[in-house]
Amino acid sequence: MPAISDTQTLHDQHGRHPQALTVEDFRHNLAAVRARIDAACQRAGRSSEAVRLLPVSKTKPEASIRLAYAAGCRMLGENKVQEAHGKWQAVQDLLDLRWSVIGHLQTNKARLVARFAAEFQALDSLRVAEALDRRLQIEGRSLDVFVQVNSSGEPSKYGLPPEHAASFIRALPAFSALRVRGLMTLALFSAEAERVRPCFILLRTLRDQLRDSAPPGIALDELSMGMSGDFEIAIEEGASVVRIGQAIFGARALPDSHYWPTNASAEESGAPLSKAHANPLSRP
């Protein structure tokens, strides 16, 4: 059995996943991912039942959503709110299909998330928390949320700086429609496992520190971390939710580095910087 420290990332292998075009393709891919989850759990001495697989359908068409559903998927993750809302509208005949929004949310899109999502994994602003809570109260709904932490220190990524997490979480009981479940992060996008693993260690360590002092009603049991290229490392470091897209749906037209830019690629593409340093505690 390979040692935990030997686990590698697959971030440098864009295009390796063939497109899933049939229900059988999806069943095969889901089984393959679950086998990798089982193996990672075994290496870490964990039960595979403690890890939830969240298939991520971003950029994929309605036909792929329906195939994934037929293969057994009952919750799907989406990055862009409007894309997710459109898909939700298109497949409302799939009555037990639920949606997790895992990407950055602007306050003016909170009404959409409050309308259809079961889960939101990228909470990093009290402005967004207030907007969501206000709209959820109108809708008569509640929402599971994860607090996003910037574990890599890259200014091109969203998420709270780790040192702001405690004060942010202390403010969340004011929003009664939000059910805080845990923390979420995006690790450094690198083919070098020794650069990726510390991001996951940081989130687990932070969660362990925060859990003892969390306000009543705030649960920090869950750690959402790890994608197709690095989820095995994340599991070894304590992930309870892994967000898997390409290993299930097939390669996207653009590599993951396009969606999760490093500082250099963000500058080249014109993506906004300094996201991690915005004031998360400011309110309207």
Among residues 123, 133, 75, 89, the alpha carbon closest in space to that of 103 is found at 123
Average pLDDT over residues 207-230: 96
- Over pLDDT 90: what percentage of the chain? 80
Higher pLDDT, 258 or 203: 203
Q: Could you tell me the pLDDT band of residue 277, with boundaries at 50, 70 and 90?
A: very low
From CA 122, how far away is CA 101, in angstroms rounded? 8
From CA 92, how far away is CA 94, in angstroms rounded? 5
Least confident of 117-121, 252-256, 268-272: 268-272
DSSP string, the chain: ---GGG----TT-TT-SPP--SHHHHHHHHHHHHHHHHHHHHHHT--GGG-EEEEB-TT--HHHHHHHHHTT--EEEESSHHHHHHHHHHTTTSTT-EEEE-S---GGGHHHHHHH-SEEEEE--HHHHHHHHHHHHHHT--EEEEEEB--S--TTS-SB-GGGHHHHHHHGGG-TTEEEEEEE------S-HHHHHHHHHHHHHHHHHHHTTPPTT----EEE---TTTHHHHHHTT-SEEEE-HHHH---SS-HHHHS--HHHHHHHT----GGGS-TT---
Average pLDDT over residues 170-179: 98
Core vs surface per residue 155-188: b (16+ CB within 10 A) or e:
ebbbbbbbebbeebbeebeebebbebbbbbbbbb
1: pLDDT strictly greater than 70: no
Among residues 171, 232, 237, 231, the alpha carbon closest in space to that of 203 is found at 237
Contacts of residue 268, Cβ cutoff 8 Å, sequence gap at least 6: none
Domains present along the chain, CATH in parentheses? 12-253 (3.20.20.10)
Q: Could you tell me the pLDDT band of residue 164, with boundaries at 50, 70 and 90?
A: very high
Q: Could you tell me the pLDDT band of residue 51, with boundaries at 50, 70 and 90?
A: very high
Least confident of 5-9, 28-32, 166-170, 193-197: 5-9
Chain-wide mean pLDDT for the chain?
Answer: 90
Q: Could you tell me the pLDDT band of residue 281, with boundaries at 50, 70 and 90?
A: low
